[in-house]
Amino acid sequence: MRTLALCIPAWNAERFLGRLLESAAAQTRRFDEILVYDDASTDSTGAVAKRHGAAVVRSDVNRGPSHGKNELAQLSCCDWIHFHDADGALSSQFVERASRWIDDDCTDVVLFGTEDRDDETGASLGERVWDDVELRRDPVAYAIGTTITNCGIHRRATLLAAGGFDTNELTKYNEDQALHLRLALAGLRLRADPYIGVVIYRREGSMSSGHPIECARAQFEVMKCTAGAAGPRYAREIGERLWHLATVSASYSDWEYVRRCLSLAADLRYVVPVREPLLMRCAARVSPVGAIRARECYVRLFKPALRRGVRRTP
């Protein structure tokens, strides 16, 4: 029977790492191995991990989560790996459900459903499942249009053969989508299981919620890399994603990245999304950046509540 490891990159995670490891210990079927990468923490992250029975790999230099995940993948002795952020948790039947897949020779990655919860209250903020039909039909197109989070199990051998996580600093805040696009482009076979197996706690100051501008910029870099790797085949899907990112960047007044997104879309011969209103499509054919600016001015003048509290670039 094939084996499954839990691999956790962690930095200054003493406050919430115990919650994740307790959810791992409460599984109806245990992980075969639990590894924690202590990324030069200045708190007691390593001690918390050891107290819960995890094997700890300690770095004296902070290298980031992608590097940590790659290190753990190399060190693991298991056939399959589940990477999990240190501030999350697992539903009790995650391993049992995953075990139905790990003996399947026709699958390399399985994505499980996720539930968002408020970190302070524990209240559910919603659930998400992935589209198995679309993943099987065209995993590259699906991963371009959908930001896949850290929620799956990966066949270790094919993950490593594809190069693992991208350690490029420019993609650091979008590393999970970068990984799944890399795996899809390498021909790995992706599937989805509707079981809500991963709990994501939303809190202020986390890597995602605390860095929205950096996340948007990292998504641009991922799309840029994908365009270079895929050639013209996915120009439409990448162009749509770039227009969405341009709109997001405009909400933060990040006009440099608005221009970068629209310039790359133009290089891909993608002018404007067909789903935009007619007036927007016409304006974009004259000046894409001008069209985005005009819409953003309209939002700020007539719908200011949509931009209240939004952090902007200097």
Longest dimension (CA), the chain: 62
305 CB contacts (<8 Å, ≥6 apart)?
none
Kindly report each contact of residues 269-273 with a partner whose C-beta sits within 8 Å and lies 24 or more positions away, as own/partner: 269/235, 269/239, 270/235, 270/236, 270/238, 270/239, 270/240, 270/242, 270/243, 272/243, 273/239, 273/240, 273/243
278 CB contacts (<8 Å, ≥6 apart)?
none
Quickly state the pLDDT bin for 163 (edges 50, 70, 90).
very high
The reported pLDDT for the residue numbered 93 is 98
Distance of CA 134 to the CA centre of its chain: 18
Q: What are the structural domains of the chain?
A: 4-202 (3.90.550.10), 212-307 (no CATH)
The string of pLDDT tens digits covering residues 215-230 is 999 999 999 999 999 9
Joined tokens for residue 300: 């700020």
Quickly state the pLDDT bin for 314 (edges 50, 70, 90).
low
**Contact (CB, 8 A) for 94 and 151:** no
Q: Note if the pTM is more than 0.95.
A: no
The reported pLDDT for the residue numbered 209 is 65
**Contact (CB, 8 A) for 188 and 111:** no
Backbone φ and ψ for 91, nearest 5 degrees, come out as -70, 155
The string of pLDDT tens digits covering residues 229-272 is 999 999 999 999 999 999 999 999 999 999 999 999 999 999 88
| C-alpha gyration radius of the chain | 20
The string of pLDDT tens digits covering residues 66-81 is 999 999 999 999 999 9
The answer on pLDDT for 205 being more than 70 is: no
H-run or E-run covering 116: strand 109-118
The answer on pLDDT for 37 being more than 90 is: yes
- Three-class secondary structure of residue 144 per DSSP: helix
Burial bucket for residue 145 (CB in 10 Å: 0-12, 13-18, 19+): middle
